[in-house]
Copies of this chain bind each other. A is one copy, B any other.
Amino acid sequence: MKPSIPKGTRDFSPTEVANRTYIMNTIKTSFETFGFQPIETPSFENSSTLMGKYGDEGDRLIFKILNSGDFLNKADDKLLSEKDSLKVTSQISEKALRYDLTVPFARYVVQHQNEITFPFKRYQVQPVWRADRPQKGRFREFFQCDADVVGSKSLWQEVEFIQLYDTVFSKLGLEGTTIKINNRKILSGIAEVIGAQDKLIDFTVALDKLDKIGQEKVEQEMLDKGITEEAIQKVQPLFSFTGSNIDKLASLEKMLQTSEEGKKGVEELRFVINSIAELGLKSASLEVDVTLARGLNYYTGAIFEVSAPKGVKMGSIGGGGRYDDLTGIFGLKDVSGVGISFGLDRIYLVLEELGLFKTVDLPKPKVLFVNFGEDEALYCMKAISELRKNDVKSELFPDSAKMKKQMNYANKREIEFVVLVGSQEMEKQEFTLKNMVSGEQSKLSLSELVNQLKA
């Protein structure tokens, strides 16, 4: 009988809602300051919109909605008797819950292309659902906060997204984040240089271990994966890939001089790095990271990922990049897009760990009126109406319960002020205001009360 909620989902208490709203509003306000506009799409889409867009694993993790009514009617008898769940799915389910915000956005752009002014800068803050195995920081229902621009290939947008990350994290008081940047064209250049696109992931995975296991072991791993000695020679600069971003760009340029695409990648990256150097960041650092590959088959230009400040154990708290053919899957060709996402739930955990929610206003009344009976309550309600007109959060304890019970309620909810009204106060048209922290009490007229609590 004890009620529960599905695995991987959460209830949010008032304090949690307030903290989450604080993060979301900070992100939304920054999005709007940067010129982005909000859209919203339905929680469920036609299955055909989502299926096949996230790979086989993604298809498996999409939550499907059962058709209403006599759904088995249309199902194939043979498939049912064989219990072929995979094939029966499409016969009994036509809708599925949103898996991310990018595919619905692409669908939106194509469907509404005639109403949209391009370049279209949209943001979207909505929940998504994945039938993933739940673990710390990973849920089956979670919010994504995305900003994307479609309809322009300008690199100024990459520059602005880095500024946007820096702005949001600075506003949240989260200093010391690292925005890592790479470019798919550089990865393609490396693939060209090492001789095979299909070895690229093995290569970057091995390279990423350099700090931990040293050059010799990394090279051995590469050889084991079938990358030739000669190829490894050609990308030697990556084994001493340290120094400033400018230094890194110089070694990349040298290394990738035989690859047109690689050179283009270096040029793009240089534009972004130089522009940010000119414009400055408030609290984040920008760092070229050639091992960054996120969704390799998806991005076509810049790739971003944000790490929490050093010392906080947490995966990436944001990521994004450029994809040159976002809307092609829905029939609208040659629309370039670039965007970033904020991981709300992980940002929440980081802010919590660092004690950065202190400034958030909790949703509680500023003042509680103690209820001593019907006449007193009516007298109080008149004052409460006046306070609320002045946007002072206030409430009457609903029952004329024992004083102790009412004061307990005020204490538990950490309400700062209590008003006491007995026959004496009513006669004199006064209110006794008690500060629950200092214990201080004063007798005030209605206008004095309003003025004091408004302050």
- Contact check, A80 vs B85: say whether CB atoms are below 8 A apart: no
Which B residues lie within 8 Å of A38 (CB)?
Answer: 14, 17-18, 21, 363
| Cα A60 to Cα B93 with chains together (Å) | 16
Asked whether any CB of chain B lies closer than 8 Å to the CB of A259, the reply is no
Min CB gap A182→B, angstroms: 21
Which B residues lie within 8 Å of A111 (CB)?
Answer: 2-5, 11
- Of the listed stretches A221-229, A244-252, A345-353, A374-382, name the one at the interface; the rest are far from the partner chain: A374-382
Contact with B along A74-106 (1 / 0, CB 8 A): 010100110111001100111101000000000
What residue of chain B has the Cβ atom nearest to residue A5's Cβ? Answer: B42
Asked whether any CB of chain B lies closer than 8 Å to the CB of A46, the reply is yes
| Cα A1 to Cα B48 with chains together (Å) | 10
| Cα A292 to Cα B453 with chains together (Å) | 40
- Contact check, B80 vs A72: say whether CB atoms are below 8 A apart: yes
- Contact check, B88 vs A83: say whether CB atoms are below 8 A apart: no
Which B residues lie within 8 Å of A35 (CB)?
Answer: 364-365, 393-395
Enumerate A1-50 residues with CB–CB distance to B below 8 Å.
Answer: 1-6, 9-14, 17-18, 21, 29, 32-46, 49
Min CB gap A405→B, angstroms: 10
Asked whether any CB of chain B lies closer than 8 Å to the CB of A149, the reply is yes
What residue of chain B has the Cβ atom nearest to residue A361's Cβ? Answer: B32
- Contact check, A44 vs B9: say whether CB atoms are below 8 A apart: yes
Asked whether any CB of chain B lies closer than 8 Å to the CB of A391, the reply is yes
- Contact check, A154 vs B363: say whether CB atoms are below 8 A apart: no
| Cα A378 to Cα B35 with chains together (Å) | 17
User: Which of B33, B75, B371 lies in contact with A392, CB distance below 8 A?
Assistant: B33
Which B residues lie within 8 Å of A88 (CB)?
Answer: 72
Asked whether any CB of chain B lies closer than 8 Å to the CB of A331, the reply is yes
* Contacts A4-B46, A10-B42; A388 near B167 (Cβ below 8 A): yes
Which B residues lie within 8 Å of A230 (CB)?
Answer: none
- Contact check, A65 vs B64: say whether CB atoms are below 8 A apart: yes
User: Which of B44, B71, B377 lies in contact with A156, CB distance below 8 A?
Assistant: B377
Asked whether any CB of chain B lies closer than 8 Å to the CB of A235, the reply is no
Which B residues lie within 8 Å of A63 (CB)?
Answer: 44, 65-66, 68
What residue of chain B has the Cβ atom nearest to residue A108's Cβ? Answer: B11
User: Which of B85, B89, B131, B149 lies in contact with A398, CB distance below 8 A?
Assistant: B149
Q: A60-B69, A81-B81, A279-B385 are in contact. List 5 more A-B contacts (CB 8 A).
A: A10-B42, A11-B41, A65-B65, A71-B85, A157-B398
